[in-house]
Amino acid sequence: MPGDSLNVNINAGGVAKNTFDAIVIGSGISGGWAAKELCEKGLKTLVLERGKDVVHLKDYPTATKNPWDFEHRGEIPINTAKENPILSKCYAYYEGSQHFFVKDKEHPYVQEKPFDWIRGYQVGGKSLLWARATQRWSKYDFEGPGRDGFAVEWPVTYDEMAPWYSHVELFAGISGNKDGLDTMPDGEFLPPWELNCVEKEIQEKINSTYTDRRSIIGRCAHLTKPNQIHLDQGRQQCQARTLCERGCPFGGYFSSNASTLPWAAKTGNLTLRPDSVVHSIIYDEQKGKATGVRVIDAHTKEATEYFAKVIFVNAACLNSNLILLNSTSNRFPNGFGNDNGLLGKFVAFHNYRGTLTASYDGHLDQYYYTRKPTGAMLPNFRNVHKQETDFLRGYMMHYSAGRGRGDASNKEDIGGAFKDAISEAGGWGVFMMMQGETIPKETNHVRLSKDVKDEWGIPQLITSVGYDDNDEKLLKDFLEQGEEMLTKVGCKNIQTNDSKQAPGLDIHEMGGVRMGKDPKTSMLDKWNAFHNCKNVFVTDGAAMVSTSTQNPSLTFMAFTARAANHAVEELKKGNI
């Protein structure tokens, strides 16, 4: 058994001191929601976080710094970038946010195929770093795998999830417009942000030109106008600073640190233990269920066991897979719950490779104010109601418009003329990007290395995830449709680009511990509990059957809240 070689200290203060009603592994978006729901329902809950403690307001060291307060004016030094070739590709990684990211050398993994794994190990996890785009999945997203046969059927429907979407939206605070689209259902919205003049004009032209697609304002987890529930959390209106990756002192966007964890703490039922690297889940052969978690102290390397009646695995997709693969026992020799051999398989992600840029004439007498955290978007219009193309599924499109600096190319590179030139606003530019659905495949997987371990004695993760022909066809269609649309709305100097980036930079990895109706083809039931161990739940990206074209975080929140409430009900009934 995995714990046998560890110097496990289970009697520090007595086993009772290490016993809780529930254990949550991970404190990011889904872990924070699990903690909130379980604590609210009266369960004494231990949250284990492998990284350092980050307290809202107190531990945001760069949140209020000016550009000139940074030694390198916000840029990552060349040597630091060279030491972090994977991390340096991430859009949100810069001098003001670097302290919330995992450095490449500190937590190595094995790339059997190129995969850029972006991680944030601290209390709050990547909820401090996410892009905050939040859309409900539609019925077509939940029906797609079953209809088209590219994955197992989802064990839940949109109608079952709708009240849980509302539940998390009301608490988190989601801005958006009521658009009446069945491809992207409306939610419980705060007032929407406003598009600038060029974005509005493009929106109007798209909506009047096409009958099968609709441009809308992006939906995001920002408090445009806080409700009482948000004020009760101690949060305030978003200031539109777009410095979110530094941690928001206003709590203007949703994070575990500003919202769910403090709320859980107020109940008196939360115990938060940072610097706790989870080694594995403990399975009791006689009881036929999980009884606890093995933890290694991040600094002392001392091993400790904690015990609980229910366990939520929310370490973020790939780390959740890693923990479960490392949780072996006589009952589960190939990883926790892994009777069917599917653990770690069918990993999927979002295809972000395609982008377009263009210029847009006119509106030189107009500008925009504040830095709104979202732009315009077009929900997927490919293969929505039936299979229509030579590729499966589709993509969502995001676009934005802005003005850069004036042209100083004909001026001297020093002096008043140069300063005046760059102080003026240049012409309008347009940027468009894709968010494409990838198809889960058994060959896209993660597994544990047999040869190399990390400094805590845990096997390193091997990533073997790549693109396929469907991804290439989908990318080609996006670039063609994007160029056509920008041309029709009057854009000029259109440039298409395939970044050819490896999977991972989307930071939307999903799968490996998928839900399903049949224990032979899936790991989890409709409540996110293991088919063969009903007191262990997985509610982060690892549980997903498919990826949709929508952003996933809101769906993680909804699944987590739903599963936590189910777990409490089952505990009361004595079923787990």
C-alpha neighbours within 13 Å on the C-beta side of residue 319: 26
Regarding pTM above 0.75, the answer is yes
The closest of 565, 567, 553, 555 to 255, measured between CA atoms, is 553
pLDDT tens-place string over residues 214-229: 999 999 999 999 999 9
From residue 246, alpha-carbon distances to 59, 117, 322 in Å are 10, 20, 28
Phi/psi of residue 344, each to 5°? 90, -5
Q: Taking a C-beta distance cutoff of 8 angstroms, is the pair 337, 343 a contact?
A: yes
Residue 8: the pLDDT is: 56
Query: Looking at domain 8-176+228-349+441-465+505-573, does it have CATH number 3.40.50.150?
Result: no
Question: Residue 209 and residue 152: Cα distance in Å, rounded?
Answer: 37
pLDDT tens-place string over residues 493-536: 999 999 999 999 999 999 999 999 999 999 999 999 999 999 99
C-alpha neighbours within 13 Å on the C-beta side of residue 7: 5
Across the range 196-223, mean pLDDT stands at 98
Rg (the chain; Cα; Å):
24
Across the range 204-208, mean pLDDT stands at 98
pLDDT tens-place string over residues 365-389: 999 888 999 999 999 999 999 999 9
> Residue 9: is its pLDDT beyond 70?
no
From residue 331, alpha-carbon distances to 290, 406, 512 in Å are 11, 67, 20
β-strand pairing of 425-437 with 354-360: antiparallel
Task: Give me the chain's average pLDDT, please.
Answer: 95
Query: Which amino acid does the sequence have at 26?
Result: G
Residue 414: the pLDDT is: 75
Q: Taking a C-beta distance cutoff of 8 angstroms, is the pair 130, 222 a contact?
A: no
How many CB atoms are located within 10 Å of the residue 354 CB? 25
Phi/psi of residue 40, each to 5°? -60, -35
Residue 345: the pLDDT is: 98
Answer with the residue of higher pLDDT: 6 or 313: 313
Across the range 132-161, mean pLDDT stands at 97
> Residue 112: is its pLDDT beyond 50?
yes
Residue 1: the pLDDT is: 38
Residue 409: the pLDDT is: 64
Burial 211-227 (b: 16+ CB within 10 A, else e): eebbbbbbbbbbbbebe
Across the range 404-419, mean pLDDT stands at 73
Residues 6+ apart with CB under 8 A from 392: 148, 150, 383, 437, 439, 470
Phi/psi of residue 471, each to 5°? -65, -40
Residue 6: the pLDDT is: 57
Element spanning 530, H or E:
strand 529-530
Element spanning 206, H or E:
helix 197-209
Question: Residue 402 and residue 272: Cα distance in Å, rounded?
Answer: 43
Domain ranges of the chain: 8-176+228-349+441-465+505-573, 182-217+353-438+467-501
Q: Is 477 helix (H, G, I), strand (E, B) or coil?
A: helix
Name the token pair of 210.
């096409």
pLDDT tens-place string over residues 334-373: 999 999 999 999 999 999 999 999 999 999 999 988 899 9
DSSP symbol at 420: H
The closest of 403, 393, 278, 350 to 552, measured between CA atoms, is 350
Q: List, as own/partner pairs, every contact residues 515-518 make where C-beta atoms lie below 8 angstroms and the sequence separation is at least 24, other chains included.
A: 515/154, 515/155, 515/156, 515/543, 515/544, 515/545, 516/152, 516/153, 516/154, 516/155, 516/545, 517/152, 517/153, 517/155, 518/152
> Residue 407: is its pLDDT beyond 80?
no
